[in-house]
Amino acid sequence: MKRILAIEAHLETQKRIQAFLIEHNYKIDIASSGTEGILKFQKNSYDLILLNAILPDIDGYSTCQIIRGQSNIPIIMLSECYDKENEIRAFELGIDDYITKPFHHTVFIKRIEAILRRGLPSETEKNMGILQFNELMLNFPAYTAYINGEKVELTTKEFEIIAMFLQNQGKVLSRSDLLDKVWGYEYYGDVRVIDTHIKNLRKKLNIPYIKTVKGIGYKLDS
């Protein structure tokens, strides 16, 4: 049974999330503040974190930064209202998805399922084994990346984006291509989240091969 930590201050939302997840056979723990959430995360093992942007002590962004500094666990941020800049800020911190309240029960569960599913290598990916491009190597069964043999910590989404580039070397991929292939469902947010992930990948991998193709997208090319 998958175990989820919800860091959410609003009592009614806590109850609603808990009911949704229990109905779909998830084990759910609740934390009412960023501090409590961080402590629970550090003491227990979870498969995914639901994190509200607004919390009574440490806000969701700072909480995310602390958790992301310790783990690549999937994080879905919940926001009271859609704000483009806050969404981009959240993705810069390494979240995996961003959901605006109010959300529909079915859509909410599908988004969680998609994130958990994407965190597991498919049979196709397992069969791919290892792909290499110059000093960059991807181990698909382990979902890990290496530069010159040194492991690089990537989030699930970052791994899947760079994997798309390795599987399509030299081919230009639009932002829409990447959203469709990596997110795996219809995405209603800002396509600039792709730019944020590319920025993070360039910083973490420190390689010059991810090229910007102006007005179209990106490609992996030496």
Q: Give the pLDDT confidence of 54-94 residue by residue, as tens digits.
A: 999 999 999 999 998 888 889 999 988 777 888 888 988 88
Q: How do the residues of the chain divide into helix, strand and coil, expressed in percent and rounded to 5?
A: 45, 20, 35
Query: Domain map of the chain by residue range?
Result: 3-118, 123-220
CA dist., res. 212 & res. 218, Å (int): 5
**pTM tops 0.85:** no
How far CA 54 is from CA of 7, 62, 75, 183, in Å, comes to 10, 10, 15, 25
pLDDT at 9: 93
Measure the CA angle with vertex 131, ends 126 and 135; round to 5°.
145
Mean pLDDT, residues 117-138: 70
Q: Does domain 3-118 have CATH number 3.40.50.2300?
A: yes
75's enclosing H/E stretch is strand 75-79
When comparing pLDDT for 106 and 26, which is higher?
Answer: 26
Classified by CATH at the fold level, domain 123-220 comes out as Arc Repressor Mutant, subunit A (1.10.10)
